[in-house]
Amino acid sequence: MAVATLLALLDDMAALMDDVAAMTKVAAKKTAGVLGDDLAVNAEKVLGVRPERELAVVWAVAKGSAVNKLMLVPVALLISLWLPWLITPLLVCGGLYLCFEGAEKLLHRGQPSDVSRRSTVLAALAKPDADMAALERDKIRGAIRTDFILSAEIIVLTLGVVEGQSLHVQLVVLAGIAALMTVGVYSLVAGIVKLDDLGMVLQGHGEDGVWGRLIRWIGRALLAFAPRLMRTLSVVGTVAMFLVGGGILLHAWPTAAHGVEAAAGALAPWGGLLPTLVGGVIGLVAGVLLVKMQSLNPFQNR
C-alpha cells in the first residue's frame, strides 16, 4: 500500500513537472520578444560608466531587477486568483505599451535629441568636477525603473500563458521565468559591456608568431563587433516589440485572430508566418497612432 501511494505521488510529481516544463517553454517563447529590448536597454544604461565600474553597476541593477520580480510575482498570482478577468486587459495594456515604445524608438531615431544624447553624457563625464557616484546612482535608478516596466510585461505575458492552470504550476512557471530572465539578461549584459575590454586586452597581446597574430586579430574583431552587436540588439528589440505587442492585440480580438488563423491554414506550408506578420503590422500601426496621439496632447509640455 505504501509503495503504491509513493508511486502515485511520484506519478503526480512527474505530471506536474511535465506541465511546468511545457508552460515554461511556451512562456519563454512569448517573453523572448521582450528579451532583445531588455538586453539593449540595460546594456545602453551602462553608457558613460567608468570601465572598472561597469560590472558593479550591472550587479546593482540586477539586484534591483530581482526585487522588482519578487514584488511582481505575488501580485500576478493574486490577480490570477481573485481578478482573473483582469489578465486580458493587462495583456492588452502591456501590448499597447510595447507598440508605443517601439514606434517611439522608430519615429525618433536619428532626431537631434537621439543623436546628441551619448555625446551629452560623455561631455558631462569629461568635466573634472563630475560627481561619478551621483551619476552612477542616477543610472542605476533609471535602469531599475525601466526594468520594472519590462519585468511587468514579462510577468503579465507569462500570466496569460499559465491562465487556468493550477496554483502550483502558475507559481513555479512565474518564478522560473522571473529567475531565468533576470539571470539570463544580466549575465548577457555583463558580457556585452565587457566585450570591448576583452577586445582591447587581446589586441594588445604582444606574443609573436601565428598565435599572437590570431589573438590580436580576434581582439580587433571584437572591438569592431561590440558596437554592431548593440545596434543589432536595438533593432531586434524594436521589431520584437511590434511582433509581440501586435500579437497580443490580435489575440485579444478573437474574430480577427480566427480569420487570420483560417487564412494561415489555407496558405500552408508558409501560413504559419501569417499571424506573426499580421501581428507585426497591427503593432506598428497601433504604436504609430499612440505616438501621434501623445504628440497632440496639449498638456505634455506644460
Residues 6+ apart with CB under 8 A from 155: 69, 72, 73, 76, 174, 177, 178
Radius of gyration, alpha carbons of the chain: 23
Q: Is the dihedral of CA 83, 87, 88, 94 positive or negative?
A: positive
pLDDT for residue 10: 36
- Residue-averaged pLDDT of the chain: 74
Residue 132's pLDDT band (cuts 50, 70, 90): low
DSSP H helices, the chain, are 2-45, 54-82, 87-108, 112-126, 132-161, 167-193, 195-203, 209-251, 254-266, 273-295
Domain residues of the chain, as ranges? 16-195+229-295
Residue 277, C-alpha cell as written in the block: 506578420
* d(C-alpha 208, C-alpha 175), whole Å: 51
| Closest residue by Cα to residue 249 from 68, 96, 21 | 96
- Would you say 157 and 94 are in contact if contact means Cβ atoms under 8 Å apart? yes
Residue 289: its pLDDT value, please?
94
54-106 residue pLDDT tens: 788 888 888 998 999 999 889 888 888 888 888 888 888 888 888 898 888 88
**234: pLDDT strictly greater than 90:** no
> How far is the CA of 144 from the CAs of 114, 136, 139, 299, in angstroms?
21, 12, 9, 27
The answer on pLDDT for 272 being more than 50 is: yes
Distance CA 30, CA 39 (A): 16
